[in-house]
A and B are shown apart, each in its own frame.
Chain A
Amino acid sequence: MTVTLQGVGLTHANGQVALSDIDLTINAAERIAIIGPSGAGKTTLLRLLATSLQPSTGSISLLEQQPWALSASQRQRLRARIGLIHQAPPLPPRQRVVTAILAGKLGAWSLLKSLLNLFYPVDITGAQAALARLDLADKLFERCDQLSGGQLQRAGIARVLYQGPQLILADEPVSAMDPVLAGHTLSVLNNEAAARGVTLLASLHAVDLAMAHFPRVIGVRAGRIMFDLPSDQISPEQLDTLYANEKLQPTPEVITPPPLVVQIPRC
């Protein structure tokens, strides 16, 4: 059992209920897509699993450990085994791609090695291999602010591939890519998960991609799980109820990080 959620709910500080009564069991090496209308709580669910948020009710167990019963340093060790792919990868614009990728293993490295890596990349081959799987090897020594939105997302995925976690959580990992590239990128993720026996959870706004790449699909609406089925057993009616009354939404916009503003004092 990689992930177990029992009666998990999350209420934000402003009283808004984001998730309620989530019961979920995920076995090792399962590959699951989370779909649902925007604002349904997909991102919140993934953030809970990434231990970025603490649930207000219920219990959560990840990789046979209770993250919120652990000491801070033990929790950091657990976090090193979980990889979160962000929709807008928070890579510093002025950092080079190679450093940003190698930063994936910071949880596993000693402080000395981490600091040394700032001056000379200690594992160029590893970073290049991770990037090459996403056809980005030529960007190895570029700066992150020179990448397009889709390239940045792929760099974020490469970072998690390099981290090599036992549980991969992906929040809209392909939202800024064109359909062909999105499909290819999802297969890379799925192949990685299958090859290493890693559990993979990805939230997606494109239902067809979810059906095509993932054996199990969870539908989330208004903070609750609507269905949790093998992808070939989901009926069009269930999808219609899941997305009922949703305003027509354009696909999530391409994310480019805001340009860095440097104040230059006049002398």
Chain B
Amino acid sequence: MLKPALRDPAALPRLALALLAIIILWPGIKLSELDLGVLFDAENSKTMGSFLSGFWPPAHDSEFLHILLRATLETLAIATAGMALALLLAIPCGLLASRALSLSAAHRNGRLAWWSLALRWPVRGLLIVLRSVPEVVWALLFVRAVGLGPTAGVLAIAITYSGMLGKVYAEIFESVDPRPARALLVAGSPRLMAFAYGVLPNASAEMLSYTVYRWECAVRASVVMGFVGAGGLGQQIDLSLRMFAGGEVASMLLTFLLLVLLADQLSRLLRARLQ
């Protein structure tokens, strides 16, 4: 009988991983200047306390509530309009980037011809660039290009989210069963019809569910983008923060909470309908 191995073979890799984690973590903590103490520092908590004490009662005079309602509607509208524009760009890009509708793949058992692969790369690269620059950066750029206001926010969401949606749509198209579309393509139907009859029926549920999720994210993003002047709730809260108007900040934070819970419920409802 072989001599039994009585040392844990995973011990060394684990030790190495732990050491590596510490080696990486230490400069990380240094660089991020992490200091949890500031949250509990007496001096700071006094400043913070006096600021927070202004939070109660939340501002609720009718004039402010009117502004709040307008800003909230604006936020929702920015998210919705941005998503609509993003979809206009994302669906064609997703179709172009996906391998599911390749004619050359249809009769080669899924392998693409080299030129077919080469054609897909520019679209993929475009999607990667669009989604990898954060939406707030786009918003900042657009604020300078088209001026302060919701237009910059809508364009920023449209650009970033078309990248995200396009990439994920392409992935979804490729993840469904390719045989129905291939059969249609080989039988001579045009690509768009092959997509509509061969891919879409299997992909629509996941696409819709992801789109609803992204809309939820867009609502959050449009709040954030207000900070760089792209309209909506964020712009209001930036103003109130600068004026140290605690009550107004408090009502707006409560509105955020409400908005997030509402978006949760709405997306749950929509997804339940789609199942």
Which residues of A are in contact with B by a Cβ distance under 8 Å? 96, 98, 119-121, 124-125, 128, 137, 141, 266-267
Residues of B within 8 A of A141 (CB): 8-10
A-contact bits for B1-41, CB 8 A (1 contact / 0 none): 00010111111001000000000000000000000000000
B11:A120 contact, CB within 8 angstroms: yes
Residue of B nearest to A266 (CB): B168
A119 CA / B164 CA spacing, docked (Å)? 39
Distance between A126 CB and nearest chain B CB, rounded to angstroms:
11
Given A128-B4, A137-B4, A266 and B10 touching (CB < 8 A)? no
Closest CB pairs A-B (n = 8): A266-B168, A124-B6, A141-B9, A121-B8, A120-B11, A128-B4, A125-B6, A120-B8
B14:A119 contact, CB within 8 angstroms: yes
A-contact bits for B182-195, CB 8 A (1 contact / 0 none): 00000000000000
The interface size of chain B toward A, counting residues with CB under 8 Å, comes to: 12
Sample 21 A-B pairs with CB under 8 A, ordered by A number. Answer: A96-B10, A98-B8, A119-B14, A120-B8, A120-B11, A120-B14, A121-B8, A124-B6, A124-B7, A124-B8, A125-B6, A128-B4, A128-B6, A137-B4, A141-B8, A141-B9, A141-B10, A266-B168, A266-B171, A266-B210, A267-B164
A125 CA / B11 CA spacing, docked (Å)? 15
Residue of B nearest to A96 (CB): B10
Distance between B15 CB and nearest chain A CB, rounded to angstroms:
9
A197 CA / B274 CA spacing, docked (Å)? 61
Distance between A127 CB and nearest chain B CB, rounded to angstroms:
10
Distance between B121 CB and nearest chain A CB, rounded to angstroms:
21
Distance between B127 CB and nearest chain A CB, rounded to angstroms:
13
Residues of B within 8 A of A128 (CB): 4, 6
A125 CA / B14 CA spacing, docked (Å)? 20
Distance between A95 CB and nearest chain B CB, rounded to angstroms:
12
A125 CA / B4 CA spacing, docked (Å)? 9
Residues of A within 8 A of B14 (CB): 119-120
Residues of B within 8 A of A124 (CB): 6-8
Residue of A nearest to B171 (CB): A266
Residue of A nearest to B168 (CB): A266
Residues of B within 8 A of A137 (CB): 4
A190 CA / B168 CA spacing, docked (Å)? 58
